[in-house]
Chains A and B, each alone.
Chain A
Amino acid sequence: MDIEESDEVRIIDEGTPPARFARGWHCLGLAEEFRDGKPHSIEAFGTKLVVFSDSNGEIKILDAFCRHMGGDLSQGTVKGDSIACPFHDWRWGGNGKCTGIPYARRVPPLARTRAWEIMEQDELLFVWNDPEGNPPPPEVAIPAMRADDAEWTDWQWKSIVIDTNCREIIDNVVDMAHFFYVHYSFPTYFKNIFEGHVAIQEYEGVGREDITEWDDPDVPQLVSTTSTAAYHGPSFMIDDLTYHYEHFKAESILINCHYPVGPDQFVLMYGIKVKKTPEVPAEIADQMVQAMIGYIGIGFEQDIEIWKNKTRIDNPLLTNEDGPVYQLRRWYEQFYVDVADVKPEMVDRFEFELDTTRPVEAWKQEVADNIARKADAEASA
């Protein structure tokens, strides 16, 4: 290994999380959960939102704080097609207009609050955030996931609050090495592509024999994993994840998405669906999706343990075997500036294929050492 001699100490620049929130579609979870006739409170984008469904079952989102005296509409009641404030019963329609004040002779002029644009797709609810207040352009639409050519299980869906800035989870797009050290997986191929509002991670990996032992011949042995994961905008990642077993493969769609609560907090959500095939019939797929949501949860817990204790770092010190962190952050920046200030280098196509030769060598050795150490410990026990 080459080591350059220098007396200078590297200083960490922590930077500060941006004061504004990313422009883009943000998923709020399973749409059905908002259709129970009750108002739902969502803290997001530095404010509070109320989510409710009208008499047609159409989901609406408004600012939660009533423009009258600041009451919290999410603690109110759905009355007809409006949400009624618990403070003075002012009524607000899904389009943001005040629809009535029962005790008043007339509604004041300009009685309009902010209505948020929503979208429902693949049983999920999305909200559009844009600090400039523009409507969502069609080219940044979240692509539909369900294809009619196959049956999939229902979503297994989980949500967790994380006390750090959401850039930490974005950084994982380029972070090959953490898959080995934090998630106990073994990447063998790793490539990133950024283009427009999309950031892709291509991943291939094998199992870790020092972590998982297959001694039950009835349990199929996992041979390898392939994954193509793409962020469509700042917060919604669709991962086409395939587990290759000895005699069959299991295809799944993994969603990794979030919305910011404030500069130092976000809600992480993840969900998974498994494809039903002749090799993976419905009952197996249903068992599989249950097990997988558990593994994925463990994976995020491993990330959270790191995030909880680490510092924000604007000037990471990188080696050639790291992914393109700076270029990823350059891509991510496009969502934090006005549309007019998006620079070509933020959106121009960029490809980075990592040389995994050295990491694979080092990790093979480490796995072999771990197995040998275990064997020694068992022999002397």
Chain B
Amino acid sequence: MEPVDCERCGNRVLVEKNSWEHTTVQWSTDHPEVICEEYQQDPSLTQRGARIGRCSALRESIRKAVLDGRIPVPE
């Protein structure tokens, strides 16, 4: 898994792709102070306390890392 830093909050996650459409994201709570603030601010990202939402900033950061070739994608 390859590290990706969120361009907005700096939260570092580990990302793996088995294909273009598949994505695994492993978060780490080593630095809880930088865990994505989008979840705290946008109630539509949660459903009864379950954080289902996609953080748009992190999603974009991962997309860029994939396009830059920082995350290998098997053909």
B29 near A344 with CB under 8 A, answer: yes
Chain B facing A: main interface SS: loop
A200 near B50 with CB under 8 A, answer: yes
Residues on B with C-beta less than 8 A from A320 are: 18-19, 22
A78–B27 Cα distance when bound, in Å, is: 51
A/B interface sample: 14 pairs, CB < 8 A: A143-B49, A193-B50, A193-B51, A195-B51, A198-B51, A230-B50, A232-B50, A240-B47, A320-B19, A344-B30, A349-B26, A350-B24, A350-B27, A355-B18
* Partner among B24, B48, B49 whose Cβ is within 8 Å of the Cβ of A324: B24
B24-38 contact mask (Cβ, 8 Å, vs A): 1 or 0: 111111100000000
Residues on A with C-beta less than 8 A from B25 are: 349-352
* Partner among B18, B21, B49, B52 whose Cβ is within 8 Å of the Cβ of A193: B52
| Minimum C-beta distance from B27 to chain A (A) | 4
Q: State the interface size on chain B (CB cutoff 8 A).
A: 19
Top 6 A-B residue pairs of the complex, sorted by shortest distance between their CB atoms: A349-B27, A143-B48, A355-B22, A355-B21, A351-B25, A230-B50
A240–B47 Cα distance when bound, in Å, is: 10
A193–B13 Cα distance when bound, in Å, is: 14
A200–B53 Cα distance when bound, in Å, is: 11
Cβ of A353 within 8 Å of any chain B Cβ, yes or no, is: yes
A354–B18 Cα distance when bound, in Å, is: 9
| Minimum C-beta distance from B46 to chain A (A) | 10
B21 near A356 with CB under 8 A, answer: yes
* Partner among A145, A228, A348, A355 whose Cβ is within 8 Å of the Cβ of B28: A348
Residues on B with C-beta less than 8 A from A357 are: 19, 21
